Structure 1
Amino acid sequence: MLHTVREWLCWERMWLPEKVSWSDLEDSEGRVYAKASQLYAALPCALCLLLVRFLFERYLATPLADLWGARDRIRLTAETNPVLEKHFCSQARLLSQVSDLRSLCEKTSWPERKVQVWFKRRRNQERPGLRKRFCEASWRCVFYLFAFVAGVLALYDKPWLYNLKEVWAGFPKQSMLPSQYYYYLLEMGFYLSLLLSLTFDVKRKDFKEQVTHHIATLTLLSFSWISNYIRIGTLVMACHDSADILLEGAKVFNYAKWQRTANTTFVVFTALFTLTRLVIFPFWLIHCTWVYPLEEFAPFFGYYFFNVMLLVLQILHLYWAVLISRMLLKLIFSKLEGDDRSDEEEDDSDSPKERNNKLSHINGSGARGRGANGH
Structure 2
Amino acid sequence: MTILRSFLDWFWNPDVWLPPGIGWNDIKPTEKIKYCDYGDLLYPIPAALCLICVRFIVEKTILIPWGQCLGLKKSHKTFASLPHNEELENAYRKSRSKLSYKEMEVLAKKTDMEVRQIERWIRRRLAKDKHTTLTKFSECGWRWICYTASFGVGLYVMWDKPWFWDINHCWYDFPHHGVPDDVWWYYVFGAGFYLSLLITQAFDAKRKDFWQMFVHHLTTISLMGFSWVCNFIRIGTLILIIHDCADVFLEAAKMCKYAKYDKLGDVIFAVFTLLWIGTRLGVYPLYVLNSTLIEAPKIVPMFPAYYIFNSMLIILLVLHTFWTYYILKVAVKAIVSGKVIHLKQISLYNLKFFSKTKN
**TM-score, normalisation: structure 1:** 0.82
Contact 1:154 1:179 in 2 (8 A): yes
Q: For residue 145 of structure 1, report the CA deviation from its aligned partner.
A: 0.4
Partner residue in 2 for 1:353: none
Contact 1:18 1:297 in 2 (8 A): no
Partner residue in 1 for 2:70: 68
Residue 170 of structure 2: SS of its match in structure 1?
helix
Hey, what's the Cα distance between the residues in 1 that align with 2:322 and 2:117? 38
Contact 1:254 1:262 in 2 (8 A): yes
Contact 1:94 1:119 in 2 (8 A): no
Q: For residue 51 of structure 1, report the CA deviation from its aligned partner.
A: 1.8
Matches within 5 A, 1:33-44: 33-44=35-46
Letter in 2 for 1:342: K
Partner residue in 2 for 1:355: none
Q: For residue 283 of structure 1, report the CA deviation from its aligned partner.
A: 1.9
Contact 1:216 1:309 in 2 (8 A): yes
Residue 356 of structure 2: SS of its match in structure 1?
coil
Contact 1:83 1:108 in 2 (8 A): no
Contact 1:16 1:302 in 2 (8 A): yes
Of 281-290 and 230-239, more deviation after overlay is shown by 281-290
Residue 298 (structure 2) pairs with residue 295 (structure 1):
yes
Partner residue in 1 for 2:275: 272
Partner residue in 2 for 1:342: 356
Partner residue in 1 for 2:228: 225
Matches within 5 A, 1:58-207: 58-72=60-74, 73-76=76-79, 78-79=82-83, 88-91=92-95, 93=97, 100=100, 104=104, 108=108, 114-207=117-210
Partner residue in 1 for 2:322: 319
Hey, what's the Cα distance between the residues in 2 that align with 1:290 and 1:176? 23
For residues 31-77 of structure 1, give each alpha carbon's deviation from its aligned partner in whole angstroms, at most 9, with x where no partner exists: 22111111211112112211211111111111211111122441325
Q: For residue 322 of structure 1, report the CA deviation from its aligned partner.
A: 2.9
Partner residue in 2 for 1:360: none
Partner residue in 2 for 1:4: 6
Q: For residue 260 of structure 1, report the CA deviation from its aligned partner.
A: 0.6
Partner residue in 2 for 1:25: 27
Residue 75 of structure 1: SS of its match in structure 2?
helix
Hey, what's the Cα distance between the residues in 2 that align with 1:127 and 1:222? 35
Q: Alignment length, in residue pairs?
A: 339
Partner residue in 2 for 1:358: none
Letter in 1 for 2:285: P
Hey, what's the Cα distance between the residues in 2 that align with 1:225 and 1:175? 12
Q: For residue 215 of structure 1, report the CA deviation from its aligned partner.
A: 1.0
User: Could you say which structure has the greater relative contact order, defined with CA pairs below 8 angstroms and 6 or more residues apart?
Assistant: 1
Hey, what's the Cα distance between the residues in 2 that align with 1:120 and 1:267? 36
Partner residue in 2 for 1:47: 49
For residues 211-259 of structure 1, give each alpha carbon's deviation from its aligned partner in whole angstroms, at most 9, with x where no partner exists: 1111111111111111110110000000000011011101111111101
Q: 1:209 aligns with which of 204, 209, 212?
A: 212
Letter in 2 for 1:49: L
Of 113-122 and 309-318, more deviation after overlay is shown by 113-122
Distance 1:254 1:178, change over 3 A: same
Distance 1:315 1:44, change over 3 A: same
Q: For residue 4 of structure 1, report the CA deviation from its aligned partner.
A: 3.1
Contact 1:184 1:234 in 2 (8 A): yes
Contact 1:323 1:340 in 2 (8 A): no
For residues 119-138 of structure 1, give each alpha carbon's deviation from its aligned partner in whole angstroms, at most 9, with x where no partner exists: 32122122111111111110
Partner residue in 1 for 2:345: none
Q: For residue 2 of structure 1, report the CA deviation from its aligned partner.
A: 2.9
Q: For residue 84 of structure 1, report the CA deviation from its aligned partner.
A: 6.1
Hey, what's the Cα distance between the residues in 2 that align with 1:273 and 1:41? 30
Contact 2:171 2:300 in 1 (8 A): no
Partner residue in 2 for 1:262: 265
Hey, what's the Cα distance between the residues in 2 that align with 1:121 and 1:326? 33
Ranges in structure 1 where 5+ consecutive residues have no aligned partner: 344-375
Q: For the aligned residues, what is the CA RMSD?
A: 2.6
**TM-score, normalisation: structure 2:** 0.85
Distance 1:323 1:123, change over 3 A: farther
Hey, what's the Cα distance between the residues in 1 that align with 2:354 and 2:219? 23
